[in-house]
Amino acid sequence: MAKTMSDKLQNEASSLTTGLPGLDQVLKGVMPGDNIVWQVESTDDYLALVKPYAAAARASDRKLIYFRFATHPQLLPDDFGAEIHRPRPELGFESFTTEVHQVIGEAGRGAIYVFDCLSELASTWCSDQMLGNFFMLTCPRLLDLETVTYFAIYRNYHASFALRPITETTQFLLDVFRHEDHLYIRPIKVQYRSTSAMNMIHAWEGDEFKPVTASAIVSKLLVSSRWPGLRTDNRRGFWRRIFSEAETLYEQIKAGQCPPEVERDLFERLSRMVLSHDEGMLKLISRYLTLEDIFSIHDRMIGIGLIGGKAVGMLIARAILQKTEPKFRDLLETHDSFFIGSDVFYTFLVRNKIWWIRQKQQDPETFLEGAAEARELIMKGVFPDYTVEQFREMLDYFGESPFIVRSSSLLEDNYGNAFAGKYDSVFCVNQGSREKRLEEFLQAVREIYASTLSEKALRYRAQRNMLDRDEQMALLVMRVSGSIQGKKFYPQVAGVGFSFNPYAWNEYIDPKAGVVRLVFGLGTRAVDRADDDYTRLVALNAPERRPEANFDEVCQYAQRRVDYLDLQSNQLTSGYFSDLLEEPSDFPLDLFASQEASHDGNSDPTHRILTFDELLSSTDFVDRLREMLRLLHEAYQYPVDIEFAANFLNEKHYTINLLQCRPLQVQGAEVIRVPEVDIRDEDRILEAHGAVIGQGRILDIDRFIYVVPSAYGALPIQARYEVAHLIGKINRLAPADDASITMLLGPGRWGTSSPSLGIPVNFGEISRVSILCEIVAMRENLIPDVSLGTHFLNELVEMNMLYIALFPRQKKNILHEAFFLKAPNRLAELVPEAASWADTVKVIDVREAAAQDRVVTLSANAVEQKAVCYFRVPSAEASSFIKNHKEK
Amino acid sequence: MQDYQNPFEMAQAQFDEAASVLGLEPAMKDILRWPRREYSFTIPVRMDDGSVRIFHGYRVQYNDARGPNKGGIRWHPAETIDTIRALAAWMTWKCAVVDIPLGGGEGGIACNPKTLSEGEKERLARGWVRCVARELGEHRDIPGPDVYTTPQIMAWMLDEYETIVGRSHPAGFAGKPPALGGSLGRNEATARGGVYAVREACKALNVDPCGGTFAIQGFGNAGQYAALLHPEILGGGKLIAVSDTSGGIHDSAGLDPKAVVDYKRKTGRLIGFPNAKPIANEDILELDVDILYPAALENVITRENAESIKAQIVCELADGPTTPDADRILHVNGVHVIPDFLANAGGVTVSYFEQVQGLYNYYWTQDDVNRQLDRKMTEAYRVVNQLHHEHKAHMRLAAYLVAIQRVAEAVKLRGWV
């Protein structure tokens, strides 16, 4: 028995062959697990080797698998008897690799493989590095499965970025070249065999491969064969060659020596290599960027590949402004950002053995498995020397100026995606020795790479069925806009802006004029929404109209804390504005801060409140921002949101730094437009075509708190205060970190001081609510005015609450009151002492009120001023755009 | 007490209760139950976008038996003539309780100042004055600031009025910025007046303010000044808790009022004040303190928590912090309430001082203002407290009795009734 098994294995092993006995001899036999890479001058030469190899495989009963993906002639015809797979490199590295590995996994042990010439992968991906990465992932897998595989790459075609990993990983690397009609092979690497054959040139004559021993012939052959070691600069890879050729071509174009289509083709090719694969973005790119722009980007690139959505958004937005309106050429702060290509990310994962762990994240069943381990490996990961060298050069460029490393993933900020904010951005204060600064920078890069595997990002992708989408992480390294004040670094003013104002809280605010939220110092406070502080909300057609009616209220809702970079402690930190003023500073303070009265009633020159009053009233800052947003909106043909910073050199002269631009997002959807959903009439709980204030969103409601308008309208004034306090009690039942979504509905104005007109709650009593709805009805003959959220506007903005006004008596508006009246009321259970209020206040948990398979979804669109709340059956497809409320 | 939807009906009910205790004759009751004159007018305003919008304005002169009418101007979207009437009545009683020789009035514009630009606010302010100028003046009716009318708005109004009459009239409007004849000490007047009343109450009740503790709910202007002035005026007292809309802080060992005020001004909130424990806004009312200052919102002491109030003295710096039900419970439980229209009458008193200073065009020092305010508040408290004992009435009713009695006396002397 033992003998039989041994024979079988021996037979199996002996059946492995190149199909050319002479070659088998040179190689000292083909063994299970051999990966054989042919470095050829043409596919004809490769074909000559493949044919006998495949024929022998077919004869041996082994499974023969052919990966057909290149554009060169097909190596094995369809009827050859091979299993042919056609993965598509143009879908991206990750998709391609995954598909190939799926085939390999399913085929199991002992198969025979033929790959098309791999060099086309580098050309499709515009990256030698990525070809190297593919090989490093694939070759060991084939070795483990004891297969035999033929690969080919073109000679003198690739840089060390591809050759080094291939050489290091493969078992055989053989150079194939022609000289005077003869084919020669020269083994460059022969693993696990005698090295005697290494570098010896063999001439293929008939069935034999004869060694060439005469030095005169050898030298002649090597010189004529353009041996890569002599002719190729090993740093000049595929990418560099394309750019070098492009630059030459560009010179010809400029000299008028090429027809326009050559320029267009070149531009399109380079755009797809560097900027985007997104068709929407490519249209903007072709309209506003030039070849010269792409060359400038290339000059500032580290690594290769795409520069990601955020970087493209920033560059496009700057180009739109500067090309449509000349004054922005001077007004915009010069950008000198660096771009770290997306391929650096994959190379990092492959080199640090994180790739396969990361692959588990593509499976919805296992997407969280190993993520912590992978993050840990990322945080300890090392970068290739050539990348680190480029990082050093970049640091030398910045000196000790602070910069920020921002994620710029392929999915971020493109048309139709709302991936923003899921990945980190890290400030590098960048103080100290070169090595210390380098380490700080490397750590920042690792941190952002690790954030792709954070639970938050993975869950977000899982919910949207995007786990298997090609998600490479490029990085944008931007100089931090601002100046040194004492020992701190910060811009004077920063913020976010929307070209469509979703906070049109009074009739004089034109939503189309846009809105900005301003902060003093770093814009992180405006972007991240600090819950302990306020920002200045400015309607750009009416900057003077503010939700505060007097200076006391202005002070109450003023920004107190400022984010800045502390140059001493080398970190991002925040402190009180009043403390900042104790250090020497040289900015025009009066533009940003007003004097507050002291305790004796006189103006106190030392106590300053950030009002931005002078900035907004005595400079053209508002007009410029409004114009910026309008131009960007027009170019994008869609509302946009931007991040910006600005610095005044004196009272009148300033520059704006446009940090980011993207299509306006709808929260909870992976699309930028709220999808139209077909809702049956009987499923509609409410539909409002009145005011919708706040950013559009789609989410599932967990709880309604409904104050019955007719019952409330019949209450005496004192009792109405009790209702307000009761709502406060229900509000406090939810823990502070509760992520469930509560919608509060009631008659008239929330937060009014006149209980005859609404419910006199204070903000603390409704602070944990996500959606606030004013029903414009109370009792016969009394239709209270709506507040449009003005009682709490600052809080609504800071807490990202949504306000809806519902006019039930107006056409198309719907309030399905029977639902609220009939649904199980949890009030008595939650607040037993308030059971007597059960007819007035309804606390309805959707999971109790809805049929088992149904949820209640709210879809609110501020642009169209429409909100619908309806029952639906969650399906995988529909769920993909419903925001999971845990991410509130 | 019956619960009224209409604020003026509520004011009339409060009057009726006092009138029956005082045994006023029917004609006197009738004249004091109603405003003497009411003006209702429309104000056209050119908006920034070129359109014209018509606003509704009001002025109610409730009773001028004791002197020219005086009262605020409110800019509020929910403004109605009944709210204005009620406030005019309360202003009449408030002036009378602190015994200043003025009648009561109130005015308003139904508008949402949050939606108006500065230019529109100015045109609206001037428009209001043009509609009612002939009824104004330091010898007829002196408007002052109220909800959402700022010193700037009062300055525009004064300017419009002086332009119309062609003379300087600094005494014709109250609440002006000091540069235009506003009085020193106005910002702190409400709190200062309340603390003077507390000092008198401590004397009357034998509460030792130096060993006493106090807490403040609401930390806006009045609350902050109360924190600073309480130890200064009473010569001691330990602030153990304060709260604002963000929450409260508590330290039974005592909080440094100056440090707390500075922290609030710097950070915009109280939460996070070093070494203090957090306390819920509603829990602060139930603390075991000698003196409690509700200085924030209406209706915070209700029938639900009135039984739990442990303070000996409640000084109502806010308007209407105690509901009528709660008022009765506090009275039964022996909690001494200094009612809002006495406790926060310091504001109107200094406003009167502003008029006085404007009339003889000579302006007082802050010390002069404080001394005169002390005198007025001390006397007012003393008289109300006396009636409280004499009639065994709760303090709010006693204050009404003092006020109505004084107005009735003036009406009688004038021979109107």
Is residue B3 predicted with pLDDT exceeding 60?
A: no
* CATH 3.40.50.300, applies to A11-231: yes
Cβ <8 Å between B268 and A560: yes
Q: Give the strand pairing for B213-217 and B291-294.
A: parallel
> Between A and B, how many residue pairs show a Cβ–Cβ distance under 8 A?
108
Structure tokens at B289: 């303190």
CATH number at residue B59: 3.40.50.10860
Supply the pLDDT for residue A222.
Answer: 61
* Digit-coded pLDDT (tens) for A820-845: 999 999 999 999 999 999 999 999 99
Supply the pLDDT for residue B369.
Answer: 96
SS3 for B298?
coil
Q: Quick check: A427 and A404 in contact, CB under 8 A?
A: yes
Portion 743-802 of A in contact with B at CB < 8 A: 752-754, 756-757, 760, 762-764, 785, 790
B151 and B188 assigned to the same domain: no
Q: What is the mean pLDDT of residues B167-189?
A: 92
Task: Measure CA A470 to chain center.
Answer: 11
**Chain B residues near residue A561 by CB distance under 8 angstroms:** 267
Residues B105, B132: Cα–Cα separation, whole Å? 13
Structure tokens at A444: 């920042």
Within 10 angstroms of residue A404's Cβ, the number of other Cβ atoms is 23
Task: Measure CA A371 to chain center.
Answer: 18
- Concatenating the DSSP letter of every residue in A133-191 gives HHHHHHHHHHHHTT-EEEEEEETT---HHHHHHHHHH-SEEEEEEEETTEEEEEEEEET
Report the sign of the C-alpha dihedral through residues A819, A825, A830, A836, in that order. positive
Residues A529, A522: Cα–Cα separation, whole Å? 12
Residues B112, B127: Cα–Cα separation, whole Å? 16
Report the sign of the C-alpha dihedral through residues A803, A807, A808, A814, in that order. negative
Number of domains forming the structure of chain B: 2
Report yes or no on B206 lying in a domain.
yes
Task: Measure CA B277 to chain center.
Answer: 32
Within 10 angstroms of residue B103's Cβ, the number of other Cβ atoms is 26
Q: Which of B1, B115, B219, B285 to mutate to test the interface with A (most CBs of A within 10 A)?
A: B115
Query: Which CATH code for domain A239-480?
Result: 3.30.1490.20
Report yes or no on B138 lying in a domain.
yes
- Chain A's closest residue to B298, CA to CA, is A753
SS3 for A807?
coil
**Chain B residues near residue A560 by CB distance under 8 angstroms:** 266-268
Domain ranges of chain A: 11-231, 239-480, 489-663, 681-887
Closest C-alpha to A613, from A658, A567, A558, A560:
A558
Task: Measure CA B369 to chain center.
Answer: 17
Residues A132, A160: Cα–Cα separation, whole Å? 9
Cross-strand partners of A184: A177, A203
Dihedral, CA atoms, A804, A806, A810, A815, nearest 10 degrees?
130
B241 and B110 assigned to the same domain: no
Report yes or no on B155 lying in a domain.
yes
How close is the nearest chain B Cα to the Cα of A690, in Å?
A: 18
- Chain A's closest residue to B2, CA to CA, is A716
Q: Quick check: A710 and A779 in contact, CB under 8 A?
A: yes
How close is the nearest chain B Cα to the Cα of A451, in Å?
A: 31
Structure tokens at A698: 């789609």
Instruction: Give the nearest partner residue to B4 out of A717, A719, A760, using CB atoms.
Output: A717
Is residue B70 predicted with pLDDT exceeding 80?
A: yes
Number of residues in chain A: 888
Q: Quick check: A287 and A315 in contact, CB under 8 A?
A: no
B219 and B177 assigned to the same domain: no
Closest C-alpha to A580, from A623, A495, A520, A639:
A520
Residues B37, A789: Cα–Cα separation, whole Å? 36
With DSSP H G I counted as helix, E B as strand and the rest as coil, what are the percentages for chain B, rounded to 5? Answer: 50, 20, 30
Q: Quick check: A797 and A503 in contact, CB under 8 A?
A: yes
**Chain A residues near residue B325 by CB distance under 8 angstroms:** 718
- Chain A's closest residue to B261, CA to CA, is A599
- Chain B's closest residue to A531, CA to CA, is B246
**Chain B residues near residue A754 by CB distance under 8 angstroms:** 76, 78, 83
Portion 531-550 of A in contact with B at CB < 8 A: 532-534, 542, 544-550
Q: Quick check: B216 and B242 in contact, CB under 8 A?
A: yes
B378 and B282 assigned to the same domain: yes
pLDDT higher for A664 or B28? B28
Structure tokens at B263: 């922290």
Cβ <8 Å between A764 and B228: no
A721 touches chain B (CB under 8 A): yes
Which residues of chain A, if any, have pLDDT below 70? Answer: 1-14, 194-199, 213-236, 412-422, 463-466, 468-470, 529-532, 597-606, 665-677, 736-737, 778-791, 875-888
- Chain B's closest residue to A791, CA to CA, is B114
The structure tokens 């690969």 sit at A151
Cross-strand partners of B213: B238
**Chain B residues near residue A753 by CB distance under 8 angstroms:** 298
How close is the nearest chain B Cα to the Cα of A560, in Å?
A: 6
SS3 for A354?
coil
Closest C-alpha to B92, from B136, B61, B57, B137:
B61
Structure tokens at B254: 């005592």
Residues A173, A633: Cα–Cα separation, whole Å? 55
Closest C-alpha to A763, from B318, B247, B147, B303:
B247
Supply the pLDDT for residue A67.
Answer: 96
Report yes or no on B13 lying in a domain.
no
Mean of the per-residue pLDDT values of chain B:
92
- Concatenating the DSSP letter of every residue in A670-721 gives SSSSPPP----GGGEEEEE-S-EES--EEEEE-EEEEE-HHHHHTS-HHHHH
Residues A873, A506: Cα–Cα separation, whole Å? 37
Q: What domain range is B235 assigned to?
A: 184-417
pLDDT higher for B231 or B282? B231
CATH number at residue B322: 3.40.50.720
pLDDT band at B7 (very low <50, low <70, confident <90, very high): confident
Closest C-alpha to B373, from B347, B400, B406:
B347
Q: Which of B53, B74, B114 to mutate to test the interface with A (most CBs of A within 10 A)?
A: B114
B401 and B262 assigned to the same domain: yes
B138 and B192 assigned to the same domain: no
Read off the amino acid at residue A663.
P
**Chain A residues near residue B191 by CB distance under 8 angstroms:** none
**Chain B residues near residue A756 by CB distance under 8 angstroms:** 5, 78
Instruction: Give the nearest partner residue to A508 out of B115, B246, B247, using CB atoms.
Output: B115
Structure tokens at B277: 């424990």
Read off the amino acid at residue B21.
V
Closest C-alpha to B82, from B178, B153, B11, B163:
B11
The structure tokens 């020497």 sit at A584
How close is the nearest chain B Cα to the Cα of A566, in Å?
A: 20
**Chain A residues near residue B321 by CB distance under 8 angstroms:** none
A581 touches chain B (CB under 8 A): no
Residues B347, B295: Cα–Cα separation, whole Å? 14
- Please name the CATH architecture into which domain A489-663 falls: 2-Layer Sandwich (3.30)
B198 and B113 assigned to the same domain: no
- C-alpha to C-alpha distances, A744 to A740, A763, A851, B231, B339, nearest whole angstrom: 13, 13, 21, 43, 35
Report yes or no on B148 lying in a domain.
yes
Rg (Cα) of chain B, in Å, rounded? Answer: 21
Closest C-alpha to B284, from B311, B264, B262, B304:
B311
B188 and B305 assigned to the same domain: yes
φ/ψ region of B324 (left if φ > 0, alpha if ψ in -120 to 50, else beta) reads alpha
Cβ <8 Å between B150 and A545: no
Within 8 A by CB and 6+ apart from A299, the residues are none
A551 touches chain B (CB under 8 A): yes
Residues B174, B146: Cα–Cα separation, whole Å? 10
Structure tokens at A755: 């209980």
B316 and B251 assigned to the same domain: yes
Closest C-alpha to B227, from B175, B182, B273, B181:
B273
Q: Quick check: B196 and B338 in contact, CB under 8 A?
A: no
Cβ <8 Å between B220 and A533: no
User: Which one of B182, B197, B228 terminates a domain?
Assistant: B182
Supply the pLDDT for residue A779.
Answer: 56
User: Which one of B129, B147, B182 terminates a domain?
Assistant: B182
